[in-house]
Amino acid sequence: MPLSHFACANCGFWQHHFAPPDCPVCSDVRNDLPPDGWRFLPEAEVAASHEGEACEVAPGLWAFTTRPALGLAGTGWLIVRDGNIAFEAAPYYSEAMLAQIEALGGIAILSSSHAHGYGALFQLQRRFDPAVVAIQRDDLRMTKAFRVTRPFDDMLELAPGYTLHHVGGHYEGQACLHDLPGKRLFCGDMFKIDQHPDGRSHAISSHKAFHKDIPLTHAELRRYRDAIAPLEFDAVLTPFEYAPDIGRATALAALDDGLARAPGVKRLPL
Ligand SMILES: [Zn+2]
Ligand SMILES: [Zn+2]
């Protein structure tokens, strides 16, 4: 049986395999198992049934999403600059989406916060062959669908002003991307932002596992705080939400609130 790519029908995680026996994301405590058993979608099936869209959410910042929703339904971000940076990936990219990225200048640097943000990162590597594919060392075990060219430890400067920071917590190998020129923090799942349908944020929280409401420990929250306190930003972007109304002060206040009480998940109203 030849090697090919399969998406988990439950979470969308891609594996390069003959016939995946299970999904490492769904088997993990942070996700739920599929109620009716495993189902893995061959790439051709996903390609035939999905399309997507691209939206410039701020000047030079593009969001790529897949329709209908696949798996965790994350967003692939593209920072357009001299040497485009893609961070996180959509669950699948149609040919039109890939052509749009091509028209915007392709991808020079590819990275993601952790496995929940990987999406179809393998497609972006296959199409654009970026010189840098950067993933934190402790997340390497999840990267079999693509090839990491730049594993890193605590910090990695991708380009002047664009720096990855290992923050752990939600996932051992979780990293955030600080975009100093855009004053943005691509925070992975450090934060969950609840938003109104019109996009305004109304609550912020941090979790080890969203589905099961498992909280982070104080040491994990403190590590988040130590990592982001020195960073200048006035917007946060998770793999799922763009929150231009949440800056450093709000993010730090949410962590301080968690540190001031016993560990427990609380959606802090904004
Ligand atoms: Zn899965
Ligand atoms: Zn996650």
Q: Ligand 2 centroid vs 119 CA: distance in angstroms?
A: 12
* Ligand located closest to 208 CA: 2
pLDDT tier, 210 (very low <50, low <70, confident <90, very high otherwise)? confident
Q: Ligand 2 centroid vs 209 CA: distance in angstroms?
A: 7
* Ligand located closest to 169 CA: 2
Q: Ligand 1 centroid vs 65 CA: distance in angstroms?
A: 18
Per-residue pLDDT, 16: 96
In this predicted structure, the answer to whether residue 147 has a pLDDT above a threshold of 90 is yes
- What distance in Å separates the CA atoms of residue 214 and residue 170, rounded to the nearest whole number? 10
In this predicted structure, the answer to whether residue 258 has a pLDDT above a threshold of 90 is yes
pLDDT tier, 172 (very low <50, low <70, confident <90, very high otherwise)? very high
- Kindly report the number of other CB atoms within 10 A of residue 96's CB atom: 11
H-helix segments, 104-244: 121-128, 218-228
Per-residue pLDDT, 2: 85
In this predicted structure, the answer to whether residue 240 has a pLDDT above a threshold of 80 is yes
What's the token pair of residue 169?
């917590």
* CB of 145 closer than 8 Å to CB of 14: yes
Q: Ligand 1 centroid vs 241 CA: distance in angstroms?
A: 21
- What distance in Å separates the CA atoms of residue 113 and residue 237, rounded to the nearest whole number? 11
Q: Ligand 1 centroid vs 90 CA: distance in angstroms?
A: 15
Q: Ligand 2 centroid vs 9 CA: distance in angstroms?
A: 17
Q: Ligand 1 centroid vs 92 CA: distance in angstroms?
A: 15
- What distance in Å separates the CA atoms of residue 6 and residue 16, rounded to the nearest whole number? 7
In this predicted structure, the answer to whether residue 212 has a pLDDT above a threshold of 90 is no
pLDDT tier, 84 (very low <50, low <70, confident <90, very high otherwise)? very high
Per-residue pLDDT, 251: 98
Q: Among 1-5, 55-59, 156-160, 180-184, whose mean pLDDT is lowest? A: 1-5
Average of per-residue pLDDT across 31-38:
93
pLDDT tier, 269 (very low <50, low <70, confident <90, very high otherwise)? very high
In this predicted structure, the answer to whether residue 1 has a pLDDT above a threshold of 80 is no
Q: Ligand 2 centroid vs 127 CA: distance in angstroms?
A: 25
Per-residue pLDDT, 265: 85
Per-residue pLDDT, 218: 97
Q: Ligand 1 centroid vs 266 CA: distance in angstroms?
A: 26
Q: Ligand 2 centroid vs 103 CA: distance in angstroms?
A: 30
Per-residue pLDDT, 225: 98
Write down the mean pLDDT value for the chain. 97
What's the token pair of residue 134?
């950067």
Q: Ligand 1 centroid vs 198 CA: distance in angstroms?
A: 30
Q: Ligand 1 centroid vs 8 CA: distance in angstroms?
A: 5
pLDDT tens digit string along 90-137? 999 999 999 999 999 999 999 999 999 999 999 999 999 999 999 999
Cβ burial of 157 (10 Å; 0-12, 13-18, 19+) is exposed
Q: Ligand 2 centroid vs 115 CA: distance in angstroms?
A: 7
In this predicted structure, the answer to whether residue 262 has a pLDDT above a threshold of 80 is yes
- CA-closest candidate to residue 40, choices 78, 71, 6, 66: 6
